[in-house]
Amino acid sequence: MEFTAEQIAEILQGEIVGDKTITVKGLAKIEEGHPQALSFLSNPKYEEYIYTTQSSICIVNNTFEASKELPSTLTLIKVSDAYACFAKLLEVYNNLGKKNPEIEPNSFIHPSAEVCEGLYLGSFSYISKNALIGKNVTIYPNVFVGEGVKIGDNSTLHPNVIVYQDCQIGSNCIIHGGTVIGSDGFGFAPNEQGEFQKVPQIGNVIIEDNVEIGSNCSIDRATMGSTIIRRGVKIDNLCQIAHNVEVGQNSAMAAQVGIAGSAKIGRSVMIGGQAGISGHLHIADGTKIVAQSGIPSSVKKSETLMGSPGIPLDDFKKSYFGFRKLPYILNKLAELEKELETLRKK
């Protein structure tokens, strides 16, 4: 779909510098610009590319002043925050590709399921009995929705998502391909013979509104009660959230984070990639956990933690400085021992 500079400026409430009739058909990084592409510049370290880009339109901050001649084919749109405005345009662009309501062939809806208006249901998707699907939901092909599942308005389930029975997904949620919601928690107890006996997992998963979950994540159902992902949480790809975990509102975690059973993550917590959090502990609101850190015990106040076990960031930096000097210290210690031995012999 084509947009003119004038239309884009109207959406962003921006000022046009150049040809207001010029059109764009797609988006591109400023360093990879091409004719009829829209780019943006917010980071000064990329400014050099604006003088050579082939993009037709570039969104820039109001404060931008060219230090040399710009390409004659380039039109600028000046806004208060180029990054935020470009993100807004990406959202508009993304919504253009949203599926129109349709029930594709070879999909299945159980007669007892309740489906509201505006549903797109892709081929080979399955909606089980007593499920409740809200308004304007998009369910791509090969999705399984279990018995009694509830999905709120305007949510999207991408291909190959599996939602087990009785789980709940709020409104305006996005769940990416391959993610499993509500699989059994890892619950086993050894019997008298030392063999592991499965503990039935009879709870569910509750995902509140405005949550986005990346691809190939697993969120386990509770043993009893609910595993809860609170409103506004953002989860990257390949994350594992165990049974009875609660993730607080507006928290975020990067790829390959693992959270063990019954851990309680506070509000606005940020967790870096490959971090591991032990079970049955509490993480205070606002805590930041650096990538690859391990958290074995509760965090009682908001701080930034690094290392395994995680310690305050400044302490970790001091410790790491000492660790890097350890070979030098050991060599010095060996020299001192030799000198001491020589003195003893004398």
User: Under DSSP, is residue 286 helix (H, G, I), strand (E, B) or coil?
Assistant: coil
Q: Write the CA distances from 27 to 59, 81, 94, 239, integer angstroms.
A: 11, 18, 11, 30
Selection from 88, 73, 82, 90 nearest residue 22 by Cα: 73
Among candidate residues 217, 108, 99, 240, the one with its CA nearest the CA of residue 156: 99
Rg (CA), the chain: 27
d(CA 28, CA 37): 6
CB 28 within 8 A of CB 106: no
The answer to whether the Cα torsion of 172, 277, 255, 302 is positive or negative is positive
CA atoms within 13 A on the CB side of 218: 14
Alpha-carbon span 52 to 115, nearest angstrom: 52
CB within 8 A of 70, min separation 6: which ones? 50, 51, 76
Continuous segment of H or E residues that includes residue 313: helix 313-324
Catalytic residues: 243
- Rounded-to-integer distance, Cα 292 and Cα 52, Å: 40
